[in-house]
Structure 1
C-alpha cells in the first residue's frame, strides 16, 4: 500500500513543532517516560519521538491517543472550533 507523505509548508511546520513540544512538556510534567506514554497510547516509541519532534505525517488518531493518555482529549474538540472566516462568509450570504 502506498502511503503519501504529508506536505506542510515551512511556515506552518512551526505549528507542528509547537504541538510536539506541548506533548513533550505534558509527558515530563506528569513524570512519565516515553515508554510509558507509548505503551498507554498503543503506539511505538519511535512514533512518539516523531510526534514530539513535530512530524506532520503522524496520523491525527495517534495524536488523539497520546492526548488521551494525558487526559487532554477534550483539547481535540477545540480544533477548528472558532471558524471566524467561515462565519463571515456565512453572514455575507445572509445579507
Structure 2
C-alpha cells in the first residue's frame, strides 16, 4: 500500500485553488478533458483529480497537464523565483560577513 499524504488545511486549500485554476485555464481555451488526457498521456480520472487539487497525484502529472494546456508548464518556473524573504536573509548574511572582515563573492541570480 502507498504512503498516505497528510496535508495541513492551508496546503490543501492551495492545491484546490491550483486545480481550479488549471480547470479554468482549460475551459477558457475550450479544451475538453479527453483532449488533455490524450495530449498528456494521462487518464481522464487523473485529469479530474488534478482539477480538484488532489494531493495523491504526482507533480509530474500536474506538469504534464499544464503542458497539454498550450505549454503552460513553463509557469512552474515561477515557483520560488521571486524569493523576497530569501533575499533579505541573504543580504543580512552578506552584511555580517563584510562586517566581520570576511570577503566572499556570492553569485546572485539577477547577476547571472
Structure 1: gaps of 5 or more residues: none
Runs of 4+ in 1 over 6 A off after TM superposition: none
Q: Is 1:6 the equivalent of 2:1?
A: no
Residue matched to 1:56: 55
Structure 2: gaps of 5 or more residues: 96-112
Q: How many Å separate the matches in 2 of 1:69 and 1:4? A: 28
Provide TM-score, normalisation by structure 1: 0.89
The structure whose RCO (Cα within 8 Å, separation 6+) is larger is 1
Structure 1 residue 80: Cα displacement: 1.1
Structure 1 residue 78: Cα displacement: 0.3
Q: How many Å separate the matches in 1 of 2:57 and 2:82? A: 24
CA displacement 1:39-81 (0-9 Å, x = unmatched): 1111111111110111122111111111111121220110111
Q: Is 1:23 the equivalent of 2:29?
A: no
Number of matched pairs: 94
Residue matched to 2:77: 77
CA displacement 1:5-62 (0-9 Å, x = unmatched): 3322002211111111111111111212111111111111111111011112211111
Name the Cα RMSD after superposition: 1.3
Residue matched to 1:65: 64
Structure of higher CA gyration radius: 2
